[in-house]
Structure 1
């Protein structure tokens, strides 16, 4: 496992290099002049030319990318066109808020989804199973921004129980985390139900019951442990989707995270900010998937890494 982890870590710079090239080319081929947007509507042509020279936008793309890559190797993500502050400082300021929101949402999805799926699998086609299926359809089909607006209307505007926006204590986190995590509650519950149904029909489960092993031990020690591999796989896949959803949820709830920071930069064609935030998002997804791959061997020691 150690050799496998080392190989995956050594591949990380190459993956991030590919992401940086793709993002760099896409942003530079999108119509529009970032220097003119940065200068503002009242700027003169001289001001626009000066901005192009200051940020190297008047140079060939290969030269621009080589300069960007050289800075990136030294941890320099460039400066924002809007605030003229280093992008790395802004990411360091906004990233904790995004990690707080995504981690809470994923914890909510696992803590609610897996027990609901297990409970539904214990009594297929029962009342619990039917209710969970309805919840799953509702959670998957409802857009995040619409659910967020409904929650704000009910709990903030009507009842006044929760603050409508911003980041502060636990009260500020409840609605954004629930809005972001509800679709994944549905995903984990349906997957936990299907995998548990498959495992509960295995011969070793019937043997455990025949030996008089208590029901809760059979379910949680034997069945759930063997059904957890698909759940861990989906955890790694959904983390990237969760980061993508956080961009929308942070905008709806004015959550001061990196997703909202990136949306503002996209609207202003702030190239260095968009490149930096996407690179950090990509690194987080790759890191989480590496952890998931290594967790397979911990959950099931029979898995070997070739």
Structure 2
């Protein structure tokens, strides 16, 4: 188990280092940062003053390793636009993004588990095909389009839910539904496959021979085993949702980390942009590691020799 943990930790560190490198390079490829900060009407002297003030006159390798060294200690630099520490900005916005991601994950599990069970129980029937079609449509549907449809119907026409802001839990329902649609197809198919496999197992036949009710066999025996990989994959799906919140937060005006990234891109606030990318990537890597550990605990064969 220790070797498994070490291997996963090394992979996580390499992924984080790769993300840091790509985030740094891509922000520099977008143009001269000094010109972006100084503005289009700045003189050459102003641009050179900005370049020197922010350390942009140093070699790129020096800038990169300086950022990496400070990021390793929790110092993500200072925002060019907000004039405050980037770590403070992200810390203030992160609760909204985490709440949105967890809301989407809960909705996805509440929908995908029953659909997967129904599809497995009615395997190769019309109901099974309908469930798979719903999963396919959900995977293909653009999130921003679904968000706009929900805003028009549930928000404007019916008035059931607020369409923007973060004042109460109702504000997270519609964006949570939109985020959930990205995870429901994978979770539904995984639940269906796990239930089909579990229903054909020897212990299920034994449970039937004992005269247990159908509900007891499905929920207490089959689902308990089929849900193991679903729970593990749910951690990975949460990482996907946090990363995908950038578009959703913009659509619903939720001032989380995703909205912060969107603002920073428009204002050329590159320290914030590359830090948001790094933080979301680290969270995703951590959740992936958690999923791997859960799978290893539940299935010792995955630990390797």
Q: Settle same-fold status: TM greater than 0.5.
A: yes
Deviates more, 1:79-88 or 1:41-50: 41-50
Deviates more, 1:155-164 or 1:103-112: 155-164
Alignment partner of 1:156 is 2:147: no
CA distance in 2, matches of 1:166, 1:66: 38
Alignment partner of 1:27 is 2:22: no
Q: Residue in 2 aligned with 1:243?
A: 242
CA distance in 2, matches of 1:15, 1:134: 35
CA distance in 1, matches of 2:72, 2:38: 28
Q: Residue in 2 aligned with 1:165?
A: 164
Q: Residue in 1 aligned with 2:181?
A: 182
Q: Residue in 2 aligned with 1:258?
A: 257
Deviation by residue 1:180-205 (Cα, 9 ceiling, x = unmatched):
11232232122211221122122332
CA distance in 2, matches of 1:129, 1:10: 42
CA distance in 1, matches of 2:215, 2:293: 28
Deviation by residue 1:271-298 (Cα, 9 ceiling, x = unmatched):
2112211111111111111211222244
CA distance in 1, matches of 2:133, 2:13: 43
| 8 A contact 1:144–1:245 mirrored in 2 | no
Q: Residue in 1 aligned with 2:193?
A: 194
Residues 284/58 of structure 1: CA separation in 2 closer, same or farther (3 Å cut): same
Residues 179/80 of structure 1: CA separation in 2 closer, same or farther (3 Å cut): same
| 8 A contact 1:191–1:231 mirrored in 2 | yes
| 8 A contact 1:136–1:183 mirrored in 2 | no
| Shift, 1:169, TM fit | 0.6
Deviates more, 1:146-155 or 1:63-72: 63-72
Q: Residue in 2 aligned with 1:119?
A: 118
Matches within 5 A, 1:214-229: 214-229=213-228
Alignment partner of 1:291 is 2:290: yes
Q: Residue in 2 aligned with 1:140?
A: 139
SS in 2 for 1:58: coil
The two structures, once aligned, show a CA RMSD in angstroms of: 2.3
| 8 A contact 1:34–1:270 mirrored in 2 | no
Deviation by residue 1:28-73 (Cα, 9 ceiling, x = unmatched):
123x222222222333322222211111111110111122122223
CA distance in 2, matches of 1:183, 1:64: 37
Alignment partner of 1:78 is 2:77: yes
Could you list the runs of 5+ residues in structure 1 that have no partner in the other structure? none
SS in 1 for 2:41: coil
| Shift, 1:229, TM fit | 4.1
SS in 2 for 1:28: helix
Deviation by residue 1:68-98 (Cα, 9 ceiling, x = unmatched):
1222232110111212211101100111111
Residues 62/239 of structure 1: CA separation in 2 closer, same or farther (3 Å cut): same
Deviates more, 1:290-299 or 1:251-260: 290-299
Deviates more, 1:132-141 or 1:231-240: 231-240
SS in 2 for 1:264: helix
CA distance in 1, matches of 2:158, 2:304: 54
CA distance in 2, matches of 1:182, 1:13: 30
SS in 1 for 2:146: helix
Deviates more, 1:59-68 or 1:296-305: 296-305
SS in 2 for 1:165: coil
Aligned residues: 305
| 8 A contact 1:81–1:270 mirrored in 2 | yes
CA distance in 2, matches of 1:157, 1:210: 55
Alignment partner of 1:97 is 2:96: yes
